[in-house]
């Protein structure tokens, strides 16, 4: 049995926010005190570390379920399948629907049910559910969909990763510049075509690491302490990721039986350019090799970190020739890998 991605789609929001747009923000330390450096210095350091120059935010009228639907519709069209024969609609996200100007997350009904409704799928046996797994949620959705297909209880699944992190950022936190919005989707199904998912690996580190990413109050002491925003311990996450992700990727690749020399691309969660580069370099050093040039496609410079949406968006963009000097071909072996809240790590080896 070969379980492959037969269609992809993504939604990239139209609203562009440049680094310079943060020049007038009042960035504060965790205790509410002001930074000693001017915003220009903070922004320059931010760009040097993350690589982010721009990010995309959704229009005020849209929510996570809206953009998940947009990406899903494109993936179904790309796969050229009848949406009524889908067995599962799996939507990975973190915060549900948060309308512009509100502070409440709305996830009833589930985002997946909303996407199924928007797609106008009548078939009640098409099961729709949400997946909360931090930034690695889309990969985990692919792993679950593959398990359903291997078990014989599904033939075709839609897996979506969508998020509107712009609705949960603290504008007084410099880390707010990292986050963005977006959605990516894929159709995965059993085919006679050779290749597909060769191996996968998932882990959760929650003994000491569970709260490296969390919901916390604004750094501005005068704001309502009951309103929470996405927060992170950036240094701890960096050290965790560069320590554990390369090993997870190596274990996953060894399970696949594929030689490191045969890997053509690594699609890694677009979290931070410096961190991603360090992860891939350490992965290759585990094999005593240098990281090949062009092995790691990136779109974080223009799109920012949209959590669960980064990998499906990146894969769709490369697959459709939208990223300069990056392409994949039939028969290419690629690795998907991600790390995020939980703390969760996963990897997947895939033959196109």
pLDDT digits (tens, 9 = 90+) for 53-101: 999 999 999 999 999 999 999 999 999 999 999 999 999 999 999 999 8
pLDDT at residue number 224: 82
Residues of the chain above pLDDT 70, percent: 100
Residue 323 has which token pair? Answer: 């990223």
Measured between alpha carbons, how far is 216 from 290 in angstroms, rounded to an integer? 40
pLDDT at residue number 34: 86
pLDDT at residue number 193: 86
Q: Provide the pLDDT confidence category of residue 1 given band limits of 50, 70 and 90.
A: confident
Kindly report the length of the chain.
Answer: 352
Within a 10 A sphere around the Cβ of 21, how many other Cβ atoms? Answer: 13
Domain residue ranges in the chain:
2-192, 198-351
Give yes or no on whether 2-192 and 198-351 have one common fold. Answer: yes
Query: Taking the domain 2-192, which CATH number applies?
Result: 3.40.47.10
Q: Provide the pLDDT confidence category of residue 263 given band limits of 50, 70 and 90.
A: very high
Residues contacting residue 71 through CB under 8 Å, at least 6 positions apart: 9, 10, 11, 160, 162, 183, 184, 185, 309, 312
pLDDT over threshold 90, residue 14:
yes
Residues of the chain above pLDDT 90, percent: 88
> What is the separation of C-alpha 30 from the centre of its chain, rounded to a whole number of angstroms?
27
Return the minimum-mean-pLDDT range out of 36-45, 115-124, 164-173, 311-320: 36-45
pLDDT over threshold 90, residue 223:
no
Q: Provide the pLDDT confidence category of residue 136 given band limits of 50, 70 and 90.
A: very high
Please provide the average confidence, as pLDDT, over all residues in the chain. Answer: 95
pLDDT over threshold 90, residue 31:
no
**What's the average model confidence in pLDDT over 192-201?**
94
pLDDT at residue number 57: 97
Residue 79 has which token pair? Answer: 């796969």
pLDDT at residue number 35: 85
pLDDT at residue number 181: 98
pLDDT at residue number 179: 96
Q: Comparing 35 with 319, which gets the higher pLDDT?
A: 319
Measured between alpha carbons, how far is 73 from 69 in angstroms, rounded to an integer? 6
| pTM listed for this prediction | 0.94
**What's the average model confidence in pLDDT over 318-340?**
95
Query: Taking the domain 198-351, which CATH number applies?
Result: 3.40.47.10
pLDDT at residue number 222: 85
pLDDT at residue number 306: 97
Measured between alpha carbons, how far is 55 from 168 in angstroms, rounded to an integer? 15
pLDDT at residue number 227: 86
Return the minimum-mean-pLDDT range out of 20-34, 181-195, 200-214, 270-284: 20-34
pLDDT at residue number 331: 94
103 and 319 Cβ atoms separated by less than 8 Å: no
Q: How many CA atoms lie within 13 A of 90 on its CB side?
A: 27
Which class for 208: exposed (0-12), middle (13-18), buried (19 or more C-beta within 10 A)? exposed
pLDDT at residue number 51: 93
**What's the average model confidence in pLDDT over 273-284?**
96
């Amino acid at each position: 049995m070969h379980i492959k991605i037969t269609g992809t789609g993504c939604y990239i929001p139209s609203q562009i926010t440049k680094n310079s747009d943060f020049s007038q923000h009042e960035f504060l330390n965790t205790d509410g005190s002001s930074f000693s450096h001017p915003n220009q210095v903070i922004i320059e350091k931010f760009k040097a570390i993350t690589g982010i120059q721009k990010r995309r935010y959704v229009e005020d009228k849209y929510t996570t379920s809206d953009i998940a639907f947009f990406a899903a519709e494109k993936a179904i069209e790309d796969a050229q399948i009848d949406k009524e024969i889908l067995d599962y609609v799996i939507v990975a996200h973190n915060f549900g629907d948060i309308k512009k100007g509100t502070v409440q997350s709305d996830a009833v009904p589930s985002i997946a049910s909303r996407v199924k409704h928007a797609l106008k799928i009548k078939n009640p046996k098409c099961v729709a559910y949400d997946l909360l797994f931090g930034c690695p949620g889309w990969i985990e959705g692919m792993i679950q969909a593959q398990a359903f297909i291997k078990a014989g209880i599904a033939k075709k699944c839609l897996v979506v990763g969508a998020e509107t992190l712009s609705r949960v950022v603290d504008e007084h936190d410099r880390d707010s510049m990292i986050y963005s919005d977006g959605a990516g989707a894929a159709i995965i199904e059993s085919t006679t075509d050779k290749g597909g998912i060769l191996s996968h690996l998932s882990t959760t580190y929650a003994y000491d690491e569970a709260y490296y990413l969390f919901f916390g109050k604004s750094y501005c002491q005068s704001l309502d302490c009951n309103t929470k925003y996405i927060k992170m311990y950036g240094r701890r996450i960096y050290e965790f990721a560069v320590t554990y992700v390369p090993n997870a990727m190596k274990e996953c690749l060894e399970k696949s039986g594929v030689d490191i020399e045969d890997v053509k691309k690594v699609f890694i969660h677009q979290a931070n350019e410096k961190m991603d580069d360090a992860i891939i370099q350490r992965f290759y050093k585990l094999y005593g090799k240098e990281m090949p040039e062009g092995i790691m496609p990136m779109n974080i410079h223009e799109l920012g970190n949209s959590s669960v949406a980064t990998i499906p968006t990146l894969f769709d963009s490369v697959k459709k020739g939208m990223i300069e000097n990056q392409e994949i071909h039939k028969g290419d072996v690629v690795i998907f890998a991600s790390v995020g809240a939980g703390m969760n790590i996963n990897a997947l080896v895939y033959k196109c």
